[in-house]
């Protein structure tokens, strides 16, 4: 009890310092005077970290939600749409807005959201975050952070990923995939798009914003006329990742949230300065372009645009309504953009990047195909997590080669697959990887792979850094250096 009172005392002092005053009459602890709090505080050694306090990450999250309640960053989104577990790996955890915390969690704050703290590890939380991590029977968003990490960046990630959970139920699904690979001209036109977007964000007057936004739309139309299959993919990613980046930055850059306010426009401008490569054209580029387009829609006063995006509209289509091109004008506006932003130089850079990427791709494919051992092809459920370093290489519609896949984790009823630090190909509905010395157990018995088709009730495949378990009836097909698993 003394520790709880001490923790509360420090928290109340911190709250009083921020508010400028402290009303003890409203305290749920009668008789707890300011002098008594000071006496308790004087007896406690200075904390080496934020164990005794709610901590900067909790404070930022609480501030973000309070700001969002006053001025919603997106209709229907709440930072605490589920309870949140913040876990300092191996040290302690904070449980926020949980209706029934497990034993061992002690109250730290009661308002504006209940916050509980517990020392020690959190079993089962092995990855950076989990969308659905059960805590005492309650679906919880869990985030693991490092002691030396940056609190603002950690909380930006929580806000971003929590928005993805919101999108799953609130957004119409418009999935898109691209089969073609960007060429030198596509990279160069994408860089031209980014230059126009940056200029639109930085324009001093609305007329300048409109002129550069129209340049962006003309360049994107040219790209889509060259490679039409990229439109659905880019619309999907800008609605998914672009809107999550927009929400994260719009909310966390508010002065009342971060405490050290920053401007969202310079942040996006720095990202738009980065010349795209073929790898970033698959996904990462659209975090920034989508967020920038959202901000331009705000600047245009399109108050209904967020509901339209949630209903399925492409962000680019809404931008074309806010900054329309006249019929037959796209060609002249494209020429204007090329002249104004130095397209010839962009094309030189794009050509160099495309040539280097294709050489790296050929080397990565060759290295994967010559990997020792058996190539396994395993069904991958919809619920999976992975972490990989760039670059990754698209193999048409058959999958994406990730030469530096650091971690893969997937599970569903009757199936689990975990592996680390090995190249893999993630395809539609399946993942492929090599295992050089795996022990195979079929229906409880050691099994030596040889060509053929085998029915099983259970299957285990294991070696250092690989665990595959199938407890549903299925089929194992072996042909040469390839093994394919299917199960019901």
Give phi and psi for 96, each to the nearest 5: -120, 135
> What does the block give as tokens for 234?
């880019």
| Residue 351 pLDDT | 97
Torsion of CA 99, 103, 109, 110, to 10 degrees: 40
| Residue 53 pLDDT | 58
Residue 163: name the closest of 62, 235, 248, 277 by CA. 248
* Separation CA 17–CA 8 (nearest Å): 14
* Separation CA 12–CA 109 (nearest Å): 9
> 66-74: long-range contacts at Cβ-Cβ below 8 A with a sequence spacing of 24 or more?
66/112, 66/256, 67/251, 67/254, 67/256, 67/257, 68/251, 73/247, 73/250, 73/251, 74/163, 74/166, 74/243, 74/247, 74/306
> What does the block give as tokens for 438?
């795996």
| Residue 279 pLDDT | 84
> What does the block give as tokens for 403?
């030469």
| Residue 222 pLDDT | 97
How would you write the pLDDT of the chain (488 residues) with one tens digit per residue? Answer: 333 333 333 333 333 333 333 333 333 333 434 444 344 334 433 333 333 456 899 999 999 999 999 999 999 999 999 999 999 999 999 999 999 999 999 999 998 999 999 999 999 887 889 999 999 999 999 999 998 899 999 999 999 999 999 999 999 988 888 888 899 999 999 999 999 999 999 999 999 999 999 999 999 999 999 999 999 999 999 999 999 999 999 999 999 998 777 789 999 999 999 999 988 998 899 999 999 999 999 999 998 999 999 999 999 999 999 999 999 999 999 999 999 999 999 999 999 999 999 999 999 999 999 999 999 999 988 778 888 888 888 887 788 999 999 999 998 889 999 999 999 999 988 999 999 999 999 999 999 999 999 999 999 999 999 999 999 999 999 999 999 999 98
CA torsion through residues 14, 20, 24, 26, sign: negative
Residue carrying the six token digits 């005392």: 9
Residue 328: exposure state from Cβ atoms within 10 A (0-12, 13-18, ≥19) = exposed
| Residue 250 pLDDT | 96
> What does the block give as tokens for 457?
């009730």
Do 337 and 188 form a contact (C-beta atoms < 8 A)?
A: no
How far CA 30 is from CA of 3, 16, 34, 112, in Å, comes to 17, 17, 12, 20
* Separation CA 113–CA 97 (nearest Å): 5
Domain boundaries, the chain: 47-69+76-149, 184-348, 373-487
Helices assigned H by DSSP within 203-341: 206-226, 230-237, 243-252, 255-258, 264-272, 285-299, 305-311, 315-322, 330-340
Strands 466-470 and 415-420: antiparallel
């Amino acid at each position: 009890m003394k520790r709880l009172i001490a923790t509360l005392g420090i928290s109340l002092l911190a709250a009083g310092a921020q508010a400028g005053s402290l009303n003890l009459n409203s305290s749920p602890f009668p008789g707890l005077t300011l002098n008594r709090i000071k006496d308790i505080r004087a007896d406690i050694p200075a904390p080496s970290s934020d164990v005794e306090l709610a901590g900067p990450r909790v404070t930022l999250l609480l501030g973000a939600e309070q700001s969002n309640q006053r001025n919603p960053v997106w209709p229907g989104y709440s930072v605490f749409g589920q309870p949140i577990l913040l876990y300092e790996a191996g040290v302690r955890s904070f449980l926020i807005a949980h209706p029934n915390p497990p034993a061992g969690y002690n109250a730290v704050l009661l308002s504006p959201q209940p916050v509980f703290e517990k020392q020690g590890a959190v079993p089962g939380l092995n990855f950076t975050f989990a969308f659905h991590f059960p805590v005492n029977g309650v679906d919880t968003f869990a985030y693991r952070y490092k002691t030396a990490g940056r609190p603002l960046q950690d909380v930006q990630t929580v806000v971003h990923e929590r928005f993805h959970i919101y999108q799953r139920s609130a957004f119409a699904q418009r999935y898109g995939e691209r089969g073609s690979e960007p060429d030198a001209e596509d990279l160069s036109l994408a860089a031209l798009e980014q230059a126009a977007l940056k200029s639109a964000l930085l324009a001093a007057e609305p007329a300048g914003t409109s002129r550069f936004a129209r340049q962006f739309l003309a360049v994107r139309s040219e790209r889509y006329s060259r490679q039409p299959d990229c439109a659905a993919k880019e619309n999907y990613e800008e609605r998914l990742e672009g809107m999550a980046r927009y929400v994260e930055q719009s909310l966390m850059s508010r002065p009342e949230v971060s405490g050290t306010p920053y401007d969202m426009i310079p942040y996006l401008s720095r990202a738009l300065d980065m010349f795209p490569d073929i790898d970033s054209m698959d996904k990462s580029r659209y975090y920034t372009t989508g967020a920038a387009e959202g901000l331009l829609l705000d600047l245009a006063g399109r108050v209904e645009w967020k509901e339209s995006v949630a209903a399925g509209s492409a962000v680019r289509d809404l931008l074309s309504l806010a900054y329309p091109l006249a019929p037959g004008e796209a060609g002249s506006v494209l020429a204007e953009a090329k002249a104004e932003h130095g397209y010839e130089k962009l094309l030189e850079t794009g050509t160099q990047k495309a040539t280097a990427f294709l050489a790296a791709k050929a080397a990565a494919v060759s290295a994967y195909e010559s990997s020792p051992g058996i190539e396994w092809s395993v069904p991958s459920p919809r619920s999976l997590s992975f972490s990989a370093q760039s670059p990754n290489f698209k193999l048409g519609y058959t999958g994406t080669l990730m030469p530096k896949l650091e971690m893969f984790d997937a599970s569903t009823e009757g199936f689990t697959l975990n592996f680390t630090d090995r190249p893999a190909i993630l395809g539609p509905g399946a993942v492929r990887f090599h295992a050089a010395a795996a022990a195979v157990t079929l229906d409880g018995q050691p099994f030596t792979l040889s060509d053929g088709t085998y029915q099983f009730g259970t299957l285990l495949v294991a070696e250092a850094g690989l665990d595959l378990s199938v407890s549903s009836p299925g089929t194992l097909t072996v042909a040469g250096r390839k093994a394919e698993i299917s199960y019901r």
